[in-house]
Amino acid sequence: MAGFSILSAIVFIPIIAGVLLLFMNPKQRDLIRGVAITAAAVMLALSAVVFFSFNNLIADRGGYQQETFYTEGDKLQIDASIGESAGTALYAEALRYEERIPWLTSLGIYYHMGVDGLTAPMILLTGMVTVAGVLISWNITDRQREFYAFFMLLVAGVYGVFMAVDIFVLFFFYELAIFPMYLLIAGWGWVKLREYASMKLTLYILIGSVVALVGILALYFTAAEFFQGEGAPILTAAIESELLPADSQPFSFSMVQLTLAAENGAFDIPFLGDVTLAKFWFPFIFIGFAVLAGVFPFHNWSPDGHVAAPTAVSMIHAGVLMKLGAYAALRTGVQLMPEAAQVHLPWIVFLTLINVVYGALIAFRQRDFKYVIGFSSVSHMGLVSMGWATMNLTGMTGAGLQMFSHGAMTALFFGCVGMVYDRAHTRDIPSLGGFIKKMPWVGFAFIVGGLTSMGMPGLSGFMAEFPIFQGMWEASENVVLRIGLFELTNYYTILVILAALGIVITAAYVLRVTSQVFFGEFNAEKYPEVGDIAIQDRVILLLLGTPLVILGIYPAIMAPMISTGLMPILQLLSGGM
């Protein structure tokens, strides 16, 4: 653990840079920009190191096959004395670059970081979007110093959530991200909407996270009680076999330890009548986090927030922050309460379907360029949650890919919108037109993004949606929805057909926007200032557009990694069956 630890570097660089920025002379704009872009570039480089070396780490293990994953590595020898621990062992084994420093040991809180196959792509995505966000704010004149400082804090929060192995640390960074987000929107946002939107967004997310926190605390205390009582031998055995560190105590926020508790049925104790603790708390925890992923009917903060936010914040918000919700919902919800997931996800999937279709329908109606993208995010994030709800490898891997793909794509979209808005000073779709003539790069990038969002093969959106659809077919025969005596089977097929129609609507609104904004006739008198974009804008478009193509042609760069990250969760789900 000693020496240079890459994850901490990634998290603390933005914090240090943010604080440093606050103490700089606001008139030295070049210096401010320089510090911001240097910090962002270093983060991106380190993130890329994490991502690509992670790939090598897996490859060194002799391929991506599940069999090898089970047999190799000493921790995976499932010791009978640890009880049920296959999933936990897989999870512990999947973590890389772990760091663990005592923090509040009396409460079992450790600064415990690590990445697995699911989060490594997210780390890379965050790095990309950060650089893009810094570049697109290059010419902000209003309090640029503070803007970059808050932006850096926001990024630190995002990174922290993806890396946290300790749920307390996860919450810490989660809230750390929300606070600067509020300031950025309220302070630099679109004047007409910023107060309303920033308030709406913050309240939604805070309430969601507080609800989830209560649930997590319930699990924490239950697990502690379990390890003090009947689970004590399991804890001892786990420490002996090095599954858990030697200083582990019954009270712990560590995901590994909580997962071990979950796997051994600690949360399946009666709570409210017949309902077990896990089954009671699952909806609160899952949806509490999924609010940030824009799950219906708690999505309404998101389009308003996106529209009101300055471009860089929209990019990081839709690109990365919404993924935090989806990720945390999976990590804490499904991983800690797999049996409950099998009870609840079969109905939550309806919400995700509504997300997909409903978001697309509303996007189709919007006149404001940015609202179109905002609602399209709602629609696409529905596919991520739908992928979780398949509860099989194919569908969930698709969802993981969708998180990355949508992140890059939507950041690209917001970048394009921002570039058009900066020059045209309006986002009213009908009054724009013919912009591809003046801004060919932006037009082309927008088309690439649009094609990705409508699932064009050869681009990443397709490689994400196809597995999700396929996962839905595969899941159809396994998933049963029971409400009282009412039982519903085999309905995933119908849902997937309806969801696919949502993709058609996506194509319709993307084409509508593309044709109205970029094609058609250009009004030279109305938009005299519209000209081609600057070099840093091109960097943004390339940075965000290229991965869409690479991932679309060669998904093997990411998909196997994601599926190894999902293996523990699948093991828990199948163990629970």
**Closest distance to another protein from the beta carbon of 342 (Å):** 19
Amino acid making up residue 94 = A
Q: Based on CB atoms, which residue is closest to another protein, 84 or 465?
A: 465
H-only helix segments in 189-316 = 194-228, 232-240, 255-263, 277-290, 301-308, 311-316
For residue 250, is the peptide bond before it cis, meaning its omega torsion is within 30 degrees of 0? no
The nearest distance, CB 514 to another protein, in angstroms, is 9
Please state the closest distance from residue 76 (CB atom) to another protein, in A: 15
**Nearer to another protein (CB atom), residue 310 or residue 400:** 400
Report residue 317 as tokens: 């918000």
Output the smallest distance, CB 477 to another protein, in A: 7
Residue closer to another protein by CB (options 210, 275) is 210
Q: How far is the CB of 80 from another protein (least distance, A)?
A: 24
Closest distance to another protein from the beta carbon of 490 (Å): 6
254 DSSP assignment: B
The nearer residue to another protein, 129 or 354, going by C-beta atoms, is 354
- The whole-angstrom distance between residue 472's C-alpha and the CA centroid of its chain comes to 21
Give the C-alpha separation, 388 to 341, whole Å: 10
Long-range Cβ contacts of 421-427 (<8 Å, 24+ apart) = 421/311, 421/369, 421/370, 422/139, 423/527, 423/529, 423/530, 423/531, 424/527, 424/529, 424/530, 425/529, 427/368, 427/369, 427/370
Query: How far, in Å, CA of 403 to CA of 302, rounded?
Result: 16
In the complex with another protein, the residue whose CB is nearer, 215 or 450, is 450
- Dist CA 350 CA 492 (whole Å): 10
Give CA–CA dist 176/163, Å, rounded.
14
- Asked if 459 contacts 412 with a C-beta cutoff of 8 angstroms, the reply is no
Binding site for another protein (CB under 8 A): 64-67, 200, 297, 300, 358, 361-362, 364-366, 393-394, 397, 434, 436-437, 451, 454-458, 462, 466-467, 469-470, 472-474, 476-477, 490, 493-494, 496-497, 500-501, 503-505, 507-508, 511-512, 515, 519-522, 524, 554-556, 559-560, 563-564, 567, 570
* Least distance between another protein and beta carbon 32 (Å): 36
CB 476 within 8 A of CB 386: no
* DSSP, res 275: E
Closer residue to another protein (CB): 421 or 522:
522
Instruction: Give the integer Cα–Cα distance in Å for 537 and 558.
Output: 26
- Write down the least CB distance from residue 408 to another protein, Å: 19
Cα–Cα distance measured from residue 367 to residue 360, given in angstroms and rounded to the nearest whole number? 14
Q: How far is the CB of 577 from another protein (least distance, A)?
A: 17
